[in-house]
Amino acid sequence: MGACQEDDRRLLWADEFDGTALDTSNWNFKLGDGCPDLCGWGNNEPQIYTTSNHSVSNGSLKITGRLQDSVYTSTRITTQGKFAFQYGYIEARIKLPEGKGLWPAFWMLGSDITEVGWPACGEIDIMEWIGRDADSLFTSLHTPASYGNTINTKKTKLETPSAWHSYGCDWREDQIVFYRDDKEVYRFDPAQKTEDNYPFQKPFYIILNMAIGGNFGGAIDDSIFPQTYEIDYVRVYE
């Protein structure tokens, strides 16, 4: 939390994933398959999101991707309608899974998505990882001016991707800076900010999920399942 300590920020919200069940006062389950909807979810992913592909134990959340009877299942949770914030430092400590076709992510969407849709709501991808490029971290921003080919993005070389690491984002009115283990990996600071290239001056909510396959996740190695994406905590500082 180096970025937080430098600014002496106050903890605003956190989930430490203690206990034995997901805290549903913090999180919603987003269920169903990969058809397009208001959350911008429709990347030709074959998985079905359920309420049963997760567990909480030993101080962490586990999201497990499974393959059974030719059906891929996983979990996606969001804080939509329960917690959103505008500006601050957000961080999660994460242990990534292993295997081609997996696509775990830690990201945020603008809370006005139900009114303006995607990409006008904006999207902040703090951590995306894909098994077909296992040595890379992807940090990206989606805006009305830059969606599709994802031009506002940085690919960072990873060391020991399947070990525990922290992934954070220092989000301010005029810039967004991404970190891995307190080291800056990407800075977004357009000189002229408009709603088209910087729709990040409003509240956003948090999403944790593990997609399988799809446009970005790529071809799936069925022999890898089950695989688990593990989150120690999510913390937000103001």
**Residue linked to tokens 């920020």:** 9
Mean pLDDT of the chain, nearest integer: 92
Token pair recorded at residue 139:
């940090």
Q: What is the pLDDT of residues 103-145, one digit of tens each?
A: 999 999 999 999 999 999 999 999 999 999 999 999 999 999 9
Provide the pLDDT for residue 192. 93
Whether 159 sits among the annotated catalytic residues: the reply is no
Q: Of the listed 6, 16, 91, 123, which one is catalytic?
A: 123
CA separation for the pair 78, 104 (Å, rounded): 14
Model pTM score? 0.94
In this structure, of 7-11, 29-33, 110-114, the range with the lowest mean pLDDT score is: 7-11
Whether 6 sits among the annotated catalytic residues: the reply is no
Token pair recorded at residue 169:
């984002």
DSSP assigned state of 132:
G
CA angle 87, 22, 59 (to 5 degrees): 85
Alpha carbon 193 to chain centroid distance? Answer: 24
**Residue linked to tokens 């009114």:** 115
Handedness of CA 23, 236, 203, 207 (dihedral sign): negative
Q: Is residue 51 over pLDDT 50?
A: yes
Q: Of the listed 115, 128, 159, 230, which one is catalytic?
A: 128
CA distances (Å), origin 123, targets 15, 32, 99, 178: 21, 21, 26, 14
- Exposed, middle or buried, 20 (CB in 10 Å: 0-12/13-18/19+)? exposed
- Residues in contact with 169: Cβ distance below 8 Å, sequence separation at least 6, in sequence order: 89, 90, 91, 124, 126, 176, 177, 178, 179
Token pair recorded at residue 234:
């999510």
Architecture of domain 2-237: Sandwich (2.60)
Provide the pLDDT for residue 151. 82
Provide the pLDDT for residue 155. 96
The size of the chain, in residues, is 238
Provide the pLDDT for residue 217. 95
Provide the pLDDT for residue 32. 80
**Domain positions in the chain:** 2-237
CA separation for the pair 230, 205 (Å, rounded): 20
CA separation for the pair 215, 149 (Å, rounded): 12
